[in-house]
Structure 1
Amino acid sequence: MSKLLNYSLNKIILCAGIVLVCSIPIYYFALSHLWQYELGEHHVRVTPEAGREDSFLIIGAVTLLSAFFFIVLLGALILLNRRLSRRMWQPFYESLEQIKSFDLDEPSNTIFQRTGITEFDEMNASLQKLLSANLAVYNQQKEFADNASHELQTPLAIVQSKLDLLLQSKQLNDDQFQLIEEAHAALSRASRINKNLLLLTKIENSQFSERQTIDLSGILGELLVQFAPFFEEKKLHVYADIKTPVNIEGNRILIEILFGNLLTNVIRYSISPGEITVSLSHDRFLIANPGEESLQADQLFKRFATASSANPGTGLGLALVKQISMRYQWKAYYQFQGNNHTFQIRF
């Protein structure tokens, strides 16, 4: 039975119980006086003992019989209320199931049928209008993100290739070479920002399927092997404590991005030489690295916010970590303690 029906039935039963408890003594008192009146009206004389016994039996029997019929009537009303309520609210629950099963990838499956009840038909019409409007906005955002990314990547790639050709020219002096190098670096950063913004948009629009079982420990192990040259270059020693297997239902690409961005962040903000701690269990992922001062904790997971003035980055890496964590209903934490930066993802 639904919570709504339970709520109404509980109130009915409580009210009926109070009425029954309060009415029995009143009913008994009224019948007792009526019994005495009838005896006096018909000049019936009985002994006190017999009068008390007869009155108790008759009044008690009538009271119990009345209470019995009251309970039967209450039970019938409860049963009737349950059946009527279920039938009356059935269109509402059907609409609710339609909303729960709504899928952006298959929006045509959500069609609200007419119920013949004015209130529910109006509600379904409003829901259909709301879903259609949101679906149109979603499609527009998706199309814009795809088009913007495609259109921007082409000129960025062309400019980058032209700069590469200029860098190979033998007629450049040192100042010209330095200017082209700076332009090349800025262009590369713009290209990364463009890709990350597109990725953020896709995550927010739920454009990543989540129908596969992923081994987090396997992905993390592969990434540690891939990042090993970068750790060696910066003289960072990695201590890994990875439980196996740690499985979730999700998208492999997003998990690789989450782990990869945290590993990149560790390399960027670690003191060289130093020690890195990586830990994965069934309820959390933790990564810690040495540092001289705390990052700006209130800015870490915001878009385009700089965690440190020394290494500005693109400002989107940890924003992606936060967005992916929210998608899977995980919690992302940062703390600086004992000259160590610690990032933690609780599953």
Structure 2
Amino acid sequence: MNKLLNRSLNKLLIYAAIVLCCSIPIYYFIFSALLQYELDEHNIILTERAGREDSYLIIVTVTILTVLFSSLLLIGLVLLNRRLSRELWRPFYDSLTKIKDFDLNKHQAVAFTPTDIAEFAELNDNLDKLITSSISAYNQQKKFTENASHELQTPLAIMQSKLDLFLQEENLSSHQHQLIRELSAAVTRTSRINRNLLMLAKIDNKQFEQQEIINLSGLINDLMELLGDHQSDKNIKLETNITQDVSVRANRVLVEVLLQNLFSNAYRHNIQEGRLLIRLDPSTIVIANSGKEALDSDQLFKRFTSVKGSGTGLGLAIVHETCASLRWSVRYAFENQKHYFYVRFI
């Protein structure tokens, strides 16, 4: 409201200043003409000095009176304009505040304050219809995503099972065997993408609200043991610095998903004979792996924009969404030929 009101007041003040500057010489010439008329009518002749003094007196008097009455008029207009504008625009800014506070994930419609101003009442009606339709479309989209992911798991599992049976056939040629292996790998990747999409849908649906005290130190040690096979595959050198007894209050499923995706990403995209750093302090988790060049930080956490090899392109997107759901923060940096991921939880 202040920006709109100040813009109007600035224009009003500029206009008033122009009128004031133009009115002073006009008043001067009018008063001078009237004075000269009175002098001529009464046959009064003024000396040159007296004429200059009268002209100076007229100018000063006209200026003072013009400024005085113009100032009083402007002050009155400004105060009146502020009061009227505040009352007239209040419904608009009430609606604007409610729109700013609106969260689509909370499934709550916005109750706009009734107003007798026709334009704002019409605006509120259209906003209410727009928000209601957006909530409905959002709920349908989330329900479809979750249902589709659930329904796809069964046929994907059947396909994988049938392909595994085909691979056990003895009369397959080497070409057929290779084709089935490639198809099996594609089905496996599709199944992972489907599970990841389902996880993202559940995160978006706020299905992980339950919280508990989690020992991060113990959880990280357990996950490192589960993912240790990748370490030997590439002869990766592991460096750890885990502060003991670091605990947080959060949802265990989300924290496990976050760490699993970060660990698997660091193992999968590490180089041969690379290094892997895992560090935990009372406020931050740091996971770093060797690399050759920096990644595009603007695209890194977006879905399907960082697919490499057998990855799904959803791991870091899940990391980002999980951190947002936990109200944590994640940051990427490339330093000393290493990809660093910093997750701050305090």
TM-score above 0.5: yes
CA distance in 2, matches of 1:11, 1:199: 55
Counterpart in 2 of 1:198? Answer: 198
Counterpart in 1 of 2:32? Answer: 32
CA distance in 1, matches of 2:125, 2:143: 27
Change (3 A) 1:92 1:28: same
Asked whether the 8 Å contact 1:295–1:308 carries over to 2, the reply is: no
Give the alignment's TM-score, normalised by structure 2: 0.72
CA distance in 2, matches of 1:316, 1:139: 22
Change (3 A) 1:189 1:28: same
- Secondary structure at the aligned position of 1:288 is classed as strand
Counterpart in 2 of 1:17? Answer: 17
Give the alignment's TM-score, normalised by structure 1: 0.71
Q: Report how far residue 77 of structure 1 moved.
A: 0.9
- Aligned pairs for 1:87-102 (under 5 A) are 87-102=87-102
Counterpart in 2 of 1:236? Answer: 237
Asked whether the 8 Å contact 1:35–1:55 carries over to 2, the reply is: no
User: Which deviates more, 273-282 or 12-21?
Assistant: 273-282
**Structure 2 unmatched ranges of 5 or more:** none
Counterpart in 2 of 1:73? Answer: 73
CA distance in 2, matches of 1:256, 1:28: 85
Counterpart amino acid of residue 226 in structure 1:
D
Asked whether the 8 Å contact 1:210–1:250 carries over to 2, the reply is: no
Change (3 A) 1:213 1:116: same
- Aligned pairs for 1:1-347 (under 5 A) are 2-104=2-104, 106-154=106-154, 188-203=188-203, 206-208=204-206, 221=217, 224-229=220-225, 230-231=227-228, 233-234=231-232, 235-240=236-241, 257-271=257-271, 273-278=273-278, 287-291=287-291, 294=293, 303-304=303-304, 307-309=307-309, 312-321=310-319, 333=332, 335=334, 340-344=337-341
Counterpart amino acid of residue 224 in structure 2:
A
Q: Report how far residue 49 of structure 1 moved.
A: 4.0
- Secondary structure at the aligned position of 1:126 is classed as helix
Deviation track 1:208-252 (CA, whole Å, cap 9, x = no partner) reads 38999999xx8864553233223484343224498x9999x9977
Change (3 A) 1:286 1:32: farther
Q: Report how far residue 97 of structure 1 moved.
A: 2.0
Counterpart amino acid of residue 68 in structure 2:
F
- Secondary structure at the aligned position of 1:238 is classed as strand
User: Which deviates more, 105-114 or 76-85?
Assistant: 105-114
CA distance in 1, matches of 2:113, 2:300: 47
Counterpart amino acid of residue 118 in structure 1:
A
Asked whether the 8 Å contact 2:146–2:201 carries over to 1, the reply is: no
CA distance in 1, matches of 2:272, 2:15: 74
- Secondary structure at the aligned position of 1:81 is classed as helix
- Secondary structure at the aligned position of 1:313 is classed as coil
Q: Report how far residue 87 of structure 1 moved.
A: 1.5
Identity over aligned pairs, percent: 45
Counterpart amino acid of residue 77 in structure 1:
L
Deviation track 1:173-227 (CA, whole Å, cap 9, x = no partner) reads 7789x99998876665443222211233455xx4338999999xx8864553233
Change (3 A) 1:239 1:331: closer
Deviation track 1:92-111 (CA, whole Å, cap 9, x = no partner) reads 11221221232335545413
Q: Report how far residue 70 of structure 1 moved.
A: 0.8
Change (3 A) 1:14 1:283: farther
CA distance in 1, matches of 2:228, 2:23: 83
Asked whether the 8 Å contact 2:332–2:341 carries over to 1, the reply is: yes
